[in-house]
Structures are given as structure tokens and as C-alpha cells.
């Protein structure tokens, strides 16, 4: 099973930049997106169907904002939209699909700020999401949690970490949450295969950041510990350009 996760930063914009042609060539079994920035009726599910994908969409109530979706060639046994908490579900942040004994969760964690209401919202989400996944794993232990986490976990995951002190996405408390996430029994699949530096999945549009590879690794596939032996490969597809992010891939046995 090839799973690709991609913050498309607006699916309609990404389609205009050639997303469908890339998707047809890449042919993931499951394609998870974040920041669709579209209502269901604004997403070209007919072309997705022609490419062999069923569409499961969770949009934000606010138009042009947030939103996640799962497009899948394999019919899931069950799809669950949201976390059953309107505080987060109104923003279209989580969608889940079950395939046999495997569950895939697509998440778009809030971007946050260094302080203020957005900071509080992000930290609340992180704590509630950790609890929600913990409960889900009791029922569905074989889990993949992919998406845009909006946190660079370690200094190796960000350019010039010494310059990022106090910056949202690299705050000590955000990284401490990632430590607890990992300690709960979750595995960063990319680091199973590649421990090198300067491997990023997001670059600012400013100052030619992508051309200079001045980026952050904030897009992940994490799997539960019991899934580790089923992970065959994990990659960052840094050459794919439809967004300020790039896709990340994991292949499961």
C-alpha cells in the first residue's frame, strides 16, 4: 500500500499547477491532503473518479480555509469524519479511514503563533488529539497518522535552528509534545530510512527559500510501534511542486 500525504495549499490551485497529471503518474493507493481550502462541491471528484479514486472530504465551515480529504483506490471498510468535537471539526482537521486491520488518519494540525489565541488553540488541539489517538489505538492498534503537523521535531528538521528560537512550529512546548507523541508508541517513518540533515517538506514562498532549500520538515507519516515491521519505505518527494509543501510517501506491506 502506497500512501502519499500532501498539504496542497488549496486543491484548486494545485490542480491548475498539474496535480492530476502527477497523481495519474504516481498512482498512490491512498492520497491524503491537507489545506484543501475548498467545499466538497468545489473539488473535482469526477476527475478523481476517472483516475480511480473514491473521495472522502472534510471541509471547514469557513470557506477557503483548512480542510482535509482522503482519495483512495481501495474501498475503505469505514470512514469517520472529525474527532466528534465541534471546536476542531468545524475547521476540517481530521479524517479517518479503516482498511482491514489498518487505520489511516489524515490530520492538519493548526499552524499557531508564539502566543495568543492561535497558540492556545494549537496547544489545546495537540493535547486533545493525543488523547483521541490514544483511545482510537485501543480499538485500532495498527495506525498510520499522516499529515501536516506544523511542528519541526528536532533541530535536524529545520534550517538554522539557532535562528528559530521562539518561532511557532519550533517552540519547546510543541517539540515536547512531539516527544510525548513518540513516547506513546509512535514511529517517525522517514527517520527509519534517512537520518540526514536538510531534508524538508515545507519552504516559505519568501526569499527563494525553496531554491535555497531553506525549509522545515513538518509533514510526516507516523505509525504505531506494532506497524513498524510493515513499513517498507518512506520518502520526501521534494521535487514535486504544486504547493509550498511537497508530498511525503510511505509504503506499507
Length of the chain: 253
pLDDT recorded at residue 247: 99
Q: What are the Cα distances from residue 106, in Å, to 8, 33, 44, 69, 208?
A: 13, 7, 20, 7, 29
The CATH number for 234's domain is 3.60.10.10
- HSE at residue 173, side-chain half, CA atoms within 13 A, is 13
Q: Which residues are catalytic?
A: 148
- Predicted local distance difference test score (pLDDT) of residue 226: 98
SS (H, E, C) the chain: CEEEEEECCCHHHHHHCCHHHHHHHHCCCEEEEECCCCCHHHCCHHHHHHCCCEEEEECCCCCCCCCEEEEECCCCCEEEECCCCHHHHCCCCEEEEEECCEEEEEEECCCCCCCCHHHHHHHHHHHHHHHHHHHHHHHCCEEEEEEECCCCCCHHHECCHHHCCCCCCCCHHHHHHHHHHHHCCEEECHHHHCCCCCCCCEECCHHHCCCCCCEECCEEEEEEHHHHHHEEEEEECCCCCCCCECCEEEEEC
Q: Give per-residue pLDDT as tens, 133-169.
A: 999 999 999 999 999 999 999 999 999 999 999 999 9
Q: How many CB atoms lie within 10 A of CB 69?
A: 25
User: At 199, is the pLDDT very low, low, confident or very high (cuts 50, 70, 90)?
Assistant: very high
**Given this model, what pLDDT does residue 204 score?**
96
Domains in the chain: how many in total?
1
User: What local confidence, expressed as pLDDT, does residue 209 receive?
Assistant: 97
Nearest-angstrom CA–CA distance, 250 and 253: 10
pLDDT band at 57 (very low <50, low <70, confident <90, very high): very high
pLDDT tens digits, residue range 6-43?
A: 999 999 999 999 999 999 999 999 999 999 999 999 99
Q: In this predicted structure, what is the pLDDT of residue 61?
A: 98
Cell numbers linked to 88: 476542531
Per-residue model confidence as pLDDT tens digits over 86-142: 999 999 999 999 999 999 999 999 999 999 999 999 999 999 999 999 999 999 999
On average, the pLDDT of the chain sits at 98
Q: What pLDDT is recorded for position 174?
A: 98
Mean pLDDT of 220-239: 98
Query: What residues make up the domain containing 152?
Result: 2-252
Mean per-residue pLDDT for 172-197? 98
Tell me, what's the pLDDT at 152?
A: 98
pTM for the full predicted model: 0.98
Amino acid at each position: 500500500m502506497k500512501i502519499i500525504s500532501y498539504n496542497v495549499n488549496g486543491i484548486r490551485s494545485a490542480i491548475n499547477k498539474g496535480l492530476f497529471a502527477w497523481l495519474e503518474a504516481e498512482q498512490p493507493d491512498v492520497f491524503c491532503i491537507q489545506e484543501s481550502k475548498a467545499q466538497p462541491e468545489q473539488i473535482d471528484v469526477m476527475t478523481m473518479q476517472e483516475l480511480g479514486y473514491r473521495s472522502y472530504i472534510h471541509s471547514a465551515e469557513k470557506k477557503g480555509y483548512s480542510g482535509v480529504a482522503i482519495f483512495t483506490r481501495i474501498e475503505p471498510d469505514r470512514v469517520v469524519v472529525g474527532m466528534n468535537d465541534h471546536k476542531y471539526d468545524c475547521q476540517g482537521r481530521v479524517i479517518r479511514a479503516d482498511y482491514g486491520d489498518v487505520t489511516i488518519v489524515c490530520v492538519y494540525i493548526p499552524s499557531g503563533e508564539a502566543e495568543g489565541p492561535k497558540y492556545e488553540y494549537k496547544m489545546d488541539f495537540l493535547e486533545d488529539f493525543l488523547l483521541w489517538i490514544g483511545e482510537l489505538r485501543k480499538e485500532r492498534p495498527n495506525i498510520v497518522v499522516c499529515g501536516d503537523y506544523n511542528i519541526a521535531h528536532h533541530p535536524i528538521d529545520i534550517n538554522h535552528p539557532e535562528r528559530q528560537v521562539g518561532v511557532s512550529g519550533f517552540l519547546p512546548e510543541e517539540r515536547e509534545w512531539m516527544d510525548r507523541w513518540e513516547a506513546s508508541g509512535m514511529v517517525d517513518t522517514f527517520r527509519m530510512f534517512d537520518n540526514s540533515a536538510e531534508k524538508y517538506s515545507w519552504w516559505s514562498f519568501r526569499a527563494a527559500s525553496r531554491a535555497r532549500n531553506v525549509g522545515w520538515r513538518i509533514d510526516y507519516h507516523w505509525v504505531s510501534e506494532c506497524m513498524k515491521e510493515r513499513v517498507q519505505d518512506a520518502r520526501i518527494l521534494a521535487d514535486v511542486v504544486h504547493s509550498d509543501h511537497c508530498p511525503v510517501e510511505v509504503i506499507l506491506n
